[in-house]
Amino acid sequence: MTIETKPLNILFLCTHNSARSILAEALLNTVGKGRFRAFSAGSSPRENQQPNPLGLKVLQNVGIATEGLYSKSWDVFAVADAPQMNLIITVCDNAAGEVCPTWPGHPATAHWSYPDPSEGNGSEAEKLEAFRQTLHAIKYRLELFCSLPDAKLEQALLQSSARQLANP
């Protein structure tokens, strides 16, 4: 099947799956216009982990739906009957340094570093601004990714293409 008929599955990883990976999942499912199917997970989400409310708020503020977003462990995607990923992108430095599971299908990998918008003790407005800035940084890189021609998204070139976008 071609990319036009079968979307590429992209998994975004972060430690807790509450902020950056959730933002990336929601953004790509919107800006990817059906060409990509995004998922997110964490290497070690806390018990009863939920997406950060400020992350959900900045998504809603730009008109992106947040229904169905939830925090989950990356173990969900490492089992045989999980959706097979074409590309796995870590979006936090902690997750990038961890030993990942063996992913079914041996997908391409890349690391796109973003600071954690949930760190810091600022006012509510300052925290919201940190999330807004992270959202726009991820969106910029995802728009570049989505503009890649199909030839750059073929499995053999996917890892190289994604890694080149680490420093746009």
Query: Which tens digit of pLDDT belongs to each residue from 10-25?
Result: 999 999 999 999 999 9
- According to the model, what pLDDT value does residue 3 have? 46
Q: Which residues in the chain land under pLDDT 70?
A: 1-5, 95-100, 156, 168
- According to the model, what pLDDT value does residue 20 have? 96
Angle between helices 20-31 and 53-61 (to 10 degrees): 20
| Structural domain boundaries in the chain | 8-158
Q: What is the model's pTM?
A: 0.89
- According to the model, what pLDDT value does residue 156 have? 61
Name the one residue in this structure whose structure tokens are 């929601």: 26
Compute the distance between CA of residue 80 and CA of residue 93 in angstroms, rounded to an integer: 27
Compute the distance between CA of residue 85 and CA of residue 127 in angstroms, rounded to an integer: 32
Residue 55, CA distances (Å) to 4, 18, 35, 62, 152 in order: 30, 8, 24, 11, 30
- According to the model, what pLDDT value does residue 105 have? 80
Kindly report the CATH number that applies to the domain delimited by 8-158.
3.40.50.2300
- According to the model, what pLDDT value does residue 21 have? 97
Tell me if 42 sits within 8 A of 70, measured CB to CB: no
Compute the distance between CA of residue 118 and CA of residue 70 in angstroms, rounded to an integer: 17
- According to the model, what pLDDT value does residue 95 have? 57
